[in-house]
Chain A
Amino acid sequence: MLANDPAKKLSFKRCISNGDLVIVYERHDNMRAVTVSENSVLQNRFGVFKHSDWIGKQFGSKVFSNKGGFVYLLAPTPELWTLVLSHRTQILYIADISFVITYLEIVPGSVVLESGTGSGSLTTSLTRAVAPTGHVYTFDFHEQRAGSAREDFEKTGLSGLVTVTVRDIQDEGFPDEFAGLADAVFLDLPQPWLAIPSAAKMLKQDGTLCSFSPCVEQVQRSCETLRTSFTDIRTFEILLRTYEVREEKVDKFQRESDGSNGSLPCKRRQCSDGSNVPISPIPSVMARPCSEAKGHTGYLTFARLKCLS
């Protein structure tokens, strides 16, 4: 997913080869991750797709099934991965993710601690942000979940930049070996206030922390704990409104040529008495918000370690 070798720039001109992870795009709301395997096939409502047909094609190509149906093969990115990964937990989506990365001031070379790992949606974006020289250490108390996350990072080619460890951060805190080494800490825990003292210990001077909580009671308690050793404590909620764009044919009314040329506003009486006739419909591109949207994901509380030295 990332180009860690500077000699191999992140260019999607590269052709698909056996063993590559591709995102199969049917529609914007229907995608899946597939590892290309010479002898495999992909079956969906459009028919049967032979992986062997895909090999040698460029990412971004349209490929056809035995029945003439088609899908697109895309190169994986953290954004696409978030849409296709298998949900083992609730995950973070792009609006929260992108804001967290900027607000935590994560840049290449940063060391980031995260708990819990969950399904690894945010972890993937954190890893992209710290690459090529930083590292993400992510902790989850669920052994099987941590294992699945590790497999996923292997699959997406991120395993060199992220380390998954089984550990209960609320209970035990972060490992002492990271004390004073973290540029940023991200918490997505049911009782984040329990982990905050440890997080403070892990952070470098001026380091940043973010805690994601769906409930306001969690935020309340976290903020109380944060005040001891953090400053710049700010809580946000970020949501996305999406728009649908459509071309509609609209009838345009024009007054029948009666000399007045429409330069004066036509009086209501004239408009309704049939002196106006529709002429050929005019296509017009229009946008409106989609009717459904996520109303809540969680509150993001950010803080910065107090500068005491």
Chain B
Amino acid sequence: MSQNNAATASTRNQSTGVTREGCSVLLDINDGDRLVFARLSPAAKLKIGNKNCSLQPLIGCPYGSLFQLETGPNGPYLSRTIASNQVVCDLSVHISGNDAEDRRDSQINVDSRDNRSLIDNNRAQGLSGEDIEAMKREGARGDEIIEALIANSSTFEKKTSFSQEKYRLRKQKKYAPKVLLRRPVARSICEAYFKKYASKIGFLRVDALSLLLSMANVSSNSDILVVDMVGGLLTGAVAERLGGTGFVCNSYLGQTPYPMDIVKIFNFGEEICKRVVRSSISDLLLQKESSEQIPQHDGVCNMESPTDDQMSLSVGVEDISLSSGAETTENVMIPATRVCKFTKAGEKAQQETIDSWKENGFSSLIIAAPELDTWTLVRDLIPLLSNSAPFSIYHQYLQPLATCMHNLQLGKMAIGLQISEPWLREYQVLPSRTHPCMQMSAFGGYILSGTKISST
């Protein structure tokens, strides 16, 4: 029995295990130095350093594939390399920056070499810039240049194996950049944004996002009300958990929906997209019978006006490169035609759906709206939940949540109220060299969670 179950249930990712034209991907360049969201097409280009290369070779490859930038007769191109056990392929601690260089080698502990005789006079390297240029012109591969640099370095042999690896990695980044093909999912999208563009997602760290989803009991066939002012990350993460069942209702104050461009980075199929709907909070709060007299703000709510195709294209490619200046501009060029037409997420919720929410209540509420007053928002939205429904509210400041919690307690609107703050520490784990990473994110946000109770 278990066998059959496994076989039928495992069909989920068969269509998404490999990239296809038009799909969105996350490109990790040189172990997290740069993170680029791109939409794959034969004409899409990625700029690495001063070289422009086509993303064509990435189409049809499994996620997790590794590419190296090579220079051929027709210019630079990305060539697939198979991961070996070599250091260059080990991304084990890549997010932690310098620690990536801090590699294994148990011999390091007995290594008698050190840097006592190192003189920093910039004469250690025998190869000149012209020599390297000449090698490149003759079509030398990146790896060959690195080997040549090592062979001509008078200090390399005197380095500890630890700093030899550091040297090799530094040269690899320059002469043989790597591109790792990643699947854009809530985890990778959140991490990429947090690392490079935290303000765009309200400084919501991946562990805080995880807690929001768990604490609000996001599960299939449920209707989740969200107020998402973190660019659509929350909406996307909820939709991913719903897997094409239930609804995530992205609600907004006033007439204009909050941007949810990040939803487009997830590779959602039509099934999931049509479960992502929008509604203004005032429409949700209207009494059921009077709702028909209210003008529907179709044009505004839909936001996908004629210009939209253009917009979503530019959105599909978000370069969140850390490097500033020239490199950040136009790293990926996207053709004007989109090959795969994805159903848009975020259509306006239909009246009958809204009515059913009014009838049954939402199964939970998640708020990540740093720009709105937490308490008044919660006060208005809590009555839209069914009784016993859990909720979770994110904020990067403590006080708005404290005030909200206090008022919920006074109003006897909810129980099990708690403010929590996650603390996340990454470790470098290497033989005899295990310790917490030198740099860490000191703050991931606060979460207020609780359960709505019956007011009668």
Residues of A within 8 A of B (CB): 2-6, 8-13, 25, 28, 58-62, 72-75, 77-79, 94-95, 97-99, 101-103, 105, 107-111, 125, 128-135, 137, 163, 165, 177-178, 181, 183, 204-206, 216, 219-220, 223-224, 227-228, 231-243, 245, 247, 285-287, 289, 299, 301, 304-309
Contacts and interface: CB of A to CB of B under 8 A. Distances in A.
Contacts of B165: none
Contacts of A163: 1-2, 5
Contact of A231 (B89, B221, B405, B429): B89
B85 A245 contact: no
B6 A9 contact: no
A13 B386 contact: yes
B424 A238 contact: yes
Given A109-B11, A237-B425, A97 B214 contact: yes
Contacts, number: 287
B172 to A, nearest CB: 16
Contacts of A110: 9, 12
Interface in B431-453: 431, 434, 446, 451-453
Contacts of B63: 206, 307
Interface in B398-414: 398-399, 401-403, 405-406, 409
B126 interface: no
Contact of B9 (A109, A125, A128): A109
Given A62-B454, A301-B429, A228 B85 contact: yes
7 contacts: A9-B246, A11-B361, A59-B386, A231-B89, A232-B92, A243-B398, A301-B429
Which 7 A-B pairs rank lowest in CB-CB distance, beginning with the nearest? A108-B243, A60-B387, A109-B12, A307-B64, A60-B388, A59-B388, A98-B214
Given A206-B183, A307-B62, A307-B64, 15 more contacts: A4-B221, A9-B246, A10-B246, A60-B389, A73-B388, A78-B214, A101-B213, A103-B187, A105-B186, A111-B10, A163-B2, A183-B10, A216-B434, A219-B434, A227-B85
B281 interface: no
Interface residues of B, number: 93
B211 A95 contact: yes
B221 A9 contact: yes
Contacts of B429: 219-220, 223, 233, 235, 301
Interface of A is mostly: mixed
Give the most central of B213, B219, B389: most A CB within 10 Å: B219
Given A135-B9, A205-B64, A241-B420, A12 B387 contact: yes
Interface of B: 1-3, 5-7, 9-13, 17, 62-66, 82-83, 85, 89-95, 104, 183, 185-187, 206-207, 209-211, 213-215, 217, 219-223, 240-246, 359-361, 363, 386-390, 398-399, 401-403, 405-406, 409, 415-427, 429-431, 434, 446, 451-454, 456
A78 B220 CA distance: 13
Given A102-B186, A135-B6, A12 B12 contact: no
Contact of B91 (A75, A177, A231): A231
Given A2-B219, A240-B422, A245-B406, A60 B83 contact: no
Contact of B387 (A13, A206, A231, A309): A13
A181 B7 contact: yes
A92 B86 CA distance: 35
A60 B452 contact: yes
Nearest to B406: A285
A287 B398 CA distance: 8
Interface of B is mostly: mixed
B220 A108 contact: yes
A133 B8 CA distance: 9
Given A78-B217, A107-B243, A102 B387 contact: no
Contacts of A241: 420-423
B144 to A, nearest CB: 24
Contacts of A233: 90, 92-93, 429
Nearest to B390: A77
Nearest to A133: B9
A243 B416 contact: no
A12 B402 contact: no
Given A99-B210, A219-B429, A234-B426, A77 B360 contact: no
A137 to B, nearest CB: 6
Contacts of B85: 227-228
A181 B399 contact: no
Contact of B420 (A103, A243, A304, A306): A243
Nearest to B362: A11
A308 B219 contact: no
Nearest to A137: B2
Nearest to A246: B406
B223 A79 contact: no
A110 to B, nearest CB: 6
